[in-house]
A = this chain, B = another copy of it.
C-alpha cells in the first residue's frame, strides 16, 4: 500500500500493537503422519487465537518466490520488498549489529589465498577460524586510505571500518560524504585468476573506487606474511536503502525485541528502537513488560523455529512451536489492542531451507470480522477471511483494527 495513503489516514491513539514473528514458521507434512509441524504441535493458545481472530496465509514477495530474511521482514513492516532492497554488503553490516548510516558503503569481505603470481588459489583461505579473522581485521583497520587520484571526495577522506563476521568472512565499511555503491566486485568467483580490480560503474563512483583500490593494495601488503589469509576479495557493495521510516509513516513509537543481530538490524534500518533481548521467550517477555508504556508497536522475533527447520529437525520445530504457544497467555495478559502472529517465510523441516510457501497468520482484536479458521496451521489459516494475502497488508490491517486509521474521503 502507498505510504502516502497511509500517512493521509493515520491518526494517533493509545492502542498497543504486537507483531510476533516466528522465523521460518510455515512447514510441510511429515511423510509418515502427513501432518505439518503446526498440525503436529500441541498449541492450544495459538489455536484459540486463530478461533478468536482473523486468519490467512501471508505471501511476502510473490507467488513461488522464497523470501530472504530481509524481504521477509521488511514486507511485514509494510515495505514493498521489490522496491526497498537491502544490498548484500548492507545486510552483512546489519547482521553483525553494525549501525549503517546514509554516509556508509558496506561490502562483504573474504580472506583468500593467492599464489606468488597473485592468482587466487583458495577463495576462502582454508576457512580460517573466527579468532584469526578478528586478528587480521584489527590489522587492516589501521590502514590509511590513500587514493591515487585527486578526486575531491577522496581528498576529504573517508573513515574505514573492518569488522570480523565468521571464519574467513568480514565486513568493510567506508564512511564519507558522497560515497557510492556503484562499484564492481573484486571477487573473480573462481580460482586460478587474480582478484579483479574494482571499477566505478557510474561516474559518481570514481572517488569511492579509488578509496577501495587504496584499501585493497595496502591490504595485500599487510597480509603478505599471513598465508593462507594473504589477500582479500570484496563483493556486494551496498549503501543502506533509502527507506521512509516506520515510526514516521505509521505514527507509531516502534520497538524491536530481537536477540539475533540480523533481525534487530533490519528493524533498526526501518527506524525501530532496539530493546534488550535474550535468547529465550521469557527474556522477550521481560523486555516487553518493562517497555510497555514507552512504545505503541512491538516487533518480537523468535528464531528457534527456523533453526530447527534448517536442521531438518521436525520434532525440534514442533517443540519450538509449543514453547511459543506457552508464551501466548503472558503476551495476552498485557492486553494489546492488536496481536499478530506469523513468520517471515516458511522453513519446512522436510525441505531444510527457506521456502516459498505462504505462511500462517492470525490477527486478534475486538474488531475482527469473525472467520471460519479455528486452528493455527497452514490448511486452516488458508480458509480464513484473509486468504492468501500480501505481507504489505499486515500493517494496514493492524492499524485499522487498532483504530489508528481514519476514514478515507468524506
Q: Which residues of B contact A68 (CB under 8 A)?
A: 407-410
- Once A28-B367, A82-B5 are accepted as A-B contacts, the answer to whether A408 and B63 lie under 8 Å apart by CB is no
The segment from A153-161, A212-220, A293-301, A378-386 that touches chain B is: A378-386
Name the contact of A67 in the complex, choosing from B357, B369, B379, B409 (C-beta under 8 A): B409
CA distance A285 to B396 in the complex (A): 40
| A86 at interface, CB cutoff 8 A | yes
A19 within 8 A of B: no
Residues of B within 8 A of A88 (CB): 410
Partner of A367, one of B34, B354, B355, B382: B355
A71-B409 contact in complex given A28-B367, A65-B5, A379-B371, C-beta closer than 8 Å: yes
Identify which of B69, B86, B396 contacts A64 (C-beta below 8 A). Answer: B396
Query: Does A125 touch B at the CB level, under 8 Å?
Result: no
Contact A66 B408 (CB under 8 A): yes
Q: How far is the CB of A30 from chain B (nearest CB, A)?
A: 12
Task: Decide yes or no whether A275 CB sits under 8 A from chain B.
Answer: no
Q: Is the CB of A405 within 8 A of B65?
A: yes
B62, B70, B351, B385: which contacts A396 (Cβ < 8 A)? B62
Question: How far apart sit A88 and B397, CA to CA, in the bound complex (Å)?
Answer: 26
Task: List CB contacts (< 8 Å) of A377-410 with chain B.
Answer: 378-379, 382-383, 385-389, 393, 396-401, 405-410
A408 contacts B5, C-beta separation under 8 Å = no
- The contact size tier of chain A is 35 or more
Q: List, in ascending order, chain B residues with CB within 8 A of A406's CB.
A: 66
**Contact status of A82 and B2, CB under 8 A, knowing A64-B393, A396-B62, A410-B88:** yes
Kindly report which residue of chain B lies nearest to residue A74, judged by CB atoms.
B409
Per the bound structure, the CA–CA distance linking A79 and B371 in Å amounts to 29
| Contact A393-B355, Cβ < 8 Å, known A369-B378, A409-B81 | no
Q: Are B369 and A28 in contact (CB under 8 A)?
A: yes
Q: Are A407 and B67 in contact (CB under 8 A)?
A: yes
Contact assessment for B91 and A410 in the assembled complex, using a CB-CB cutoff below 8 Å: yes
Closest chain B residue to A369 by CB distance? B357
| B residues near A358, Cβ cutoff 8 Å | 369
| A and B contact pairs by CB, cutoff 8 A, 29 listed | A5-B62, A5-B65, A5-B82, A9-B66, A28-B369, A57-B385, A62-B396, A63-B397, A64-B397, A64-B405, A65-B396, A66-B406, A66-B408, A67-B409, A68-B407, A68-B410, A70-B409, A72-B409, A85-B409, A351-B367, A355-B367, A356-B400, A369-B379, A370-B378, A371-B379, A372-B379, A385-B388, A386-B388, A387-B388
* Given A65-B405, A387-B388; 4 other pairs, CB 8 A cutoff: A65-B400, A69-B409, A369-B378, A372-B379
Closest 4 CB pairs of A and B: A64-B400, A68-B409, A64-B396, A71-B409
Residues of A bordering B, CB below 8 Å = 1-2, 5, 9, 26, 28-29, 34, 57, 61-72, 81-82, 85-86, 88, 91, 351, 354-358, 367, 369-372, 378-379, 382-383, 385-389, 393, 396-401, 405-410
